[in-house]
Amino acid sequence: MGLEPYAKRNKIEEVYQKFRRIIKVDGLRFKSKFSMPFADNFFKNEMKFVRFDNVAGGVQKLVEELTCEWVGNAIKKTGIKNIALAGGVFMNVKACQKISEMNEVENIFIMPSCGDESNAIGCAVYGYKKCSKEFNPSPLADLYLGPEYNNEYIEKIIKEKELNKKYKISKHKDINKIAGKLLAEGKIVARCSGKSEWGARALGNRSIMANALHPDTIRILNETIKDRDFWMPFTPSIIDKYEKKYVINPKNIFSPYMVITFNSTEEAREKIPAAMHPYDQTLRPQIVTKDYNKDYYEIIEHFAKLTGSGGILNTSFNLHGEPNVLTPEDALHTVENSSLKFLVMGNYLFEKII
């Protein structure tokens, strides 16, 4: 989905037609000409000398077309136009955008981190329904479901690891204002505060934050910290009062989880160019509300007061190939093995000096 925009349209069509001959939608079922576990021979014969971006483009077009056809069939059968999507294929945020744009779809909810890792949630709801006389589950809200570490824990680590030898450490009553100021100055700031996020997306509490006003931020992040492929775009966290300025979202789809892309506005291309796809200029936003994450909201709000931009670049707080950080110890490991200089944990600011 990130690579597809770079592929040539005519080459995409050639690859797409080859896949289209073997996979189709029949009502609410997907069918193929042969068992997919044996698809390696097909790839070997048909894709051996096809460029990787064209393969990505052809597969992306197929995924978008088949999922839209499947959803359309479900709407025809049930008459239900408010839809919920789950399953690993719907981690494809561009396909989710295509589905949301269908005329017959009124509203859409995509289960965040909707691969196998969310099965436990479904099992819990099923067990609740089966075993309880009263079934009244609460709607899914924020995804900050993991552990958090207070200032006392951080102070203990500072002493035990003698971190004053490696960092300039300062404690601030309004750490969110300090973080926003650093971002406005063009600094890249890592954050390990509050409860960790559940799922595949960093949503501010275990994130690397950067000023999205400058396209050069992408190069700096990739060369010094993230080591991502060129075609993998970064994404924005946008406070809710700026959403309509930056995001074209005519159906007002609620999007706090980074699970769907939207087309960007002209103002977004001016204010957050480093946090969108550089080729097709779509963005996969996290719309931040005070109800979901007050501290993260305040950071972006302070940044907005200084820069006039209501969004920042947000990427996962990890080294390439490693899982996202969870604990303060993980955060320090990542800082010490990268070019990251600034780290916010609790009310503390760490500035690396060696």
Question: Which domains occur in the chain, in start order?
Answer: 4-120 (3.30.420.40), 151-352 (3.90.870.20)
Alpha helix (H) residue ranges in the chain: 9-20, 40-46, 52-78, 93-100, 119-131, 151-160, 175-184, 216-221, 243-246, 266-271, 294-307, 328-336
DSSP 91-143: G-HHHHHHHHT-TT--EEEE-TT-SGGGHHHHHHHHHHHHH-SS--PPPP---
The tens digit of pLDDT for each residue in 52-72 reads 999 999 999 999 999 999 999
pLDDT, average across residues 135-161:
94
* CA proximity to 312, closest of 226, 204, 224: 204
In this structure, how many other beta carbons lie within 10 angstroms of the beta carbon of residue 296? 28
CA distance 68 to 311: 31
Phi-psi category of 113—alpha, beta or left, where left has phi over 0 and alpha has psi -120 to 50? Answer: left
Rounded to the nearest integer, the mean pLDDT of the chain is: 95
pLDDT of residue 234: 93
pLDDT of residue 312: 98
Q: Are 86 and 115 a contacting pair, CB within 8 Å?
A: no
Task: For residue 42, give both structure tokens.
Answer: 């097909």
pLDDT at 29 over 80: yes
pLDDT of residue 68: 98
pLDDT, average across residues 8-21:
93
pLDDT at 187 over 80: yes
Q: Are 273 and 212 a contacting pair, CB within 8 Å?
A: yes
Beta pairing partners, 311: 238
The tens digit of pLDDT for each residue in 282-316 reads 999 999 999 999 999 999 999 999 999 999 999 99
CA distance 53 to 11: 9
pLDDT of residue 272: 97
pLDDT of residue 213: 95
pLDDT band at 162 (very low <50, low <70, confident <90, very high): very high
Q: Which residue has the tokens 């309880």?
A: 132
pLDDT at 354 over 80: no
pLDDT of residue 208: 97
The tens digit of pLDDT for each residue in 217-257 reads 888 888 878 777 778 899 999 999 999 999 999 999 999 99
pLDDT of residue 212: 97
Q: Which residue has the tokens 């049930």?
A: 78
Write down the pTM of the prediction: 0.94
Q: Are strands 189-192 and 342-345 parallel, antiparallel or unpaired?
A: parallel
